[in-house]
Amino acid sequence: MALVIVLCLCSIQTILILLLHSLLVGVKAQMQASHYTCSMINNYTEGSIFQSNLNQLLYSPLNNNGNNSIYTKAREGEDPDKVYGLFLCRGDVVPKDCKNCIDVARERIQRECPLKKQAIIWFDECLVRYSNVSFVSMLDASISKILYSVENVSQPEQFMGNLSAIFDNLTAQATTINLNLKYADNSDVINSFDAKLHALVQCLPDLSAVNCVTCLKTAFSGIRDLSLSIAKVPRGVRILLPSCNLRYELYPFLYASVPPSTRQGNEDEGKNTSKTKLISIIIGVILAILAVVLAGTCFYLVKRRRRIEKGRNEKSREIQLLDMIGETLDANDDFGSEKQGRSREFPVVKLDLIRAATQNFSEENKLGEGGFGPVYKGTLANGIAIAIKRLSRTSGQGLKEFKNEVVLIARLQHRNLVRLLGCCLEGNEALLIYEFMPNKSLDLFLFDSRENEILEWRQRVHIIKGIAKGILYLHEDSRLRIIHRDLKASNILLDKDMNPKISDFGMAKMFSGNQREANTNRVVGTYGYMAPEYAMEGLFSTKSDVFSFGVLLLEIVSGRKNNSYVSEYGQSLLNFAWKLWCEGHGLELMDPCLSQSCVTNEITKCIHLGLLCVQQDPADRPTMSCVAFMLENDTQTLPQPSQPAFSIGRSAAEPRSNDQLCSVNEVTLSIQSPR
């Protein structure tokens, strides 16, 4: 007991010191970046011409366009080392604060995105962006970041209606009245809430009015999606896109409504005096209530410790899952640099809501069943469709896979990864709630003779590239390197526009730092897609996923399952593809349904790339960055593939002479790694 009291005293003392430290630092601190993004593939080298041009662009005096003191665009150098830049302040910011913000932003963007050819950084008052390609008049409506308040409004439906009307009005102002700046703001009293709402919209000034409207509508849809995913409407939201942004708050943040002494970045005497008074008040309050808090905290901790020890062996599956997920999320709190954009607590949905949406898990709503358990379609009260994965009591997967799925997908955001909206943990139920994919999975289109004609060649190329981008994000663009370990056609879902989404992360593994491979005694996955070194030795790496992608690529081209060729032709799809390739008849692998829509050189390249991905030795397989690069570049030549891994197993690499390689299909051999 005495030890616990001492720990309580130490904890409160530590909290007090940290609080005072944070306040004192806040007085002197510079403005903080809201968010930044950096390209992961396009890099430049230290001391290069591109770096010289970038420094010249960022640090030369700003040449404002006309009388507009808040917006500057610039370019420096000549192709292929030309740099395009953009400096834009919020439309209501005064010139002095605009300059201060940009000075901080252009220094911070190089610190946060070293040696990157493309980067963008947002602050409250400004943004700075540069790229090796022109972008100022190009529409980029991909949502980069959503920041929102942890507090919520009390009447969400009515509030969203008012919000929609306000943003429609602001969008009209920005694209008609303030056409040069593409900016509008407003502070209106919402009578129903007895509160004043402050809001703004802004597009890049060079964006056309039509594209500005499109961008802002996309941004507003981000508010709706956020409200759906967290089942509540926040009191404040900020949506950041490369071409536009919008924001609303129920407190004043616009320059016209905020006194200069409280604006971020203003370091005048009034601000310092205000913060000094605030520190004094907080110290007085803390000292006054310290004795009461101490007694109450110690009593609570002692009771809590006894309760945990007593119930440790009697926890329900719900408590176990919440603990496992919570501990993992805390341990990786800055995973993906999303502290500011996400609540620490993952959205948990009530079981009653799921039962109502699925008509109590009726057979009519059942979409299918996998290793995890059955999957159901659900329809929420507002008409939005969702998909619910239900952990089966007899499933070979369990709590560990459930936790893995939540921890990974909840922290990943990419257009080619399925989006996890929440989870449900009540009683004996363990449910995962996803966005609904109306076209189900890729295998239904590839391997069903009634459906495969729908996938003409252009659509298949789109799916192949989307899958490659999703895997590349997992391997290289997220904070931790992620190995999926179960890539296959049934785990590629298709949305209403036939865009591919990688799903089922229950078997995935995370790598950190410089880790490149790992070993396991528990081999999981699907026969026919597993790399030989993984199936036989339990050794997995990014090259294991590359092997699976190669199998998937050949299946998409041929319209046939890898394993189905064993019974039909007495050999695997990989063996069959290799045989045709060496005979110079690679196009015979093509799905007959593609005869009218195919582009022969593209099909040949995909077969070639698929064979490169399924090489026996992992070192001979390309990385996903190379795969994505080769898919997008028709002029690049590829190395010759060697005989792929037909059976499970891994053998030592043997020297290969020229007569062991096939020269076919008029493809010559060299490979370039994208920078």
What type of residue is 236?
G
Contact 240, 254 (CB under 8 A): no
Which residues are paired to 249 by β-bridges?
198
With H, G, I as helix, E, B as strand and everything else as coil, classify residue 427: coil
Q: Is the dihedral of CA 510, 512, 516, 518 positive or negative?
A: negative
Going from the C-alpha of 591 to that of each of 256, 453, 461, 596, 601, the distances in angstroms are: 64, 9, 13, 11, 15
Among the options 92, 477, 486, 591, which is catalytic? 486
Contact 388, 435 (CB under 8 A): no
Q: Residue 675: count other Cβ atoms within 10 Å of its Cβ.
A: 12
Residue 417, judged by CB atoms within 10 A of its CB (0-12, 13-18, 19+), counts as buried
What span, in angstroms and rounded, lies between the C-alpha atoms of 606 and 461? Answer: 9
Q: Is the dihedral of CA 126, 130, 135, 136 positive or negative?
A: positive
Contact 57, 86 (CB under 8 A): no
End-to-end CA distance of the chain: 60
Q: How many CA atoms lie within 13 A of 134 on its CB side?
A: 9
Residue 284, judged by CB atoms within 10 A of its CB (0-12, 13-18, 19+), counts as exposed
What span, in angstroms and rounded, lies between the C-alpha atoms of 406 and 431? Answer: 10
Q: What dihedral angle (degrees, nearest 10) is formed by the CA atoms of 231, 125, 339, 506?
A: 70
Residue 486 is among the residues annotated as catalytic for this protein: yes
Q: CA-based diameter of the chain, in Å?
A: 87
Residue 250, both tokens = 């129920």
- The DSSP result for 263-314, as a single string, is STT--SHHHHHHHHHHHHHHHHHHHHHHHHHHHHHHHHHHHHHHHHHHHGGG
Give the residue from 180, 200, 198 showing the smallest Cα distance to 189.
198
| Backbone φ and ψ of 539, nearest 5° | -90, 120
Helix ranges, 367-487 (H): 399-410, 442-446, 457-472
- Across 470-508, b (16+ Cβ under 10 Å) vs e yields bbbbbbbbbebbbbbbbbbbbbbbbeeebebbbbbbbbb
What span, in angstroms and rounded, lies between the C-alpha atoms of 366 and 407? Answer: 25
Query: Given the structure tokens 């070293």, which residue do they identify?
Result: 114
Contact 557, 603 (CB under 8 A): yes
- The answer for residues whose C-beta is within 8 angstroms of residue 615's C-beta and 6 or more apart is 621, 641, 642, 644, 645
Q: How many residues does the chain have?
A: 675
Helix ranges, 189-268 (H): 209-230
H or E segment and range at residue 630: helix 624-632
| Backbone φ and ψ of 187, nearest 5° | -135, 105
Contact 421, 434 (CB under 8 A): yes
Active-site positions? 486
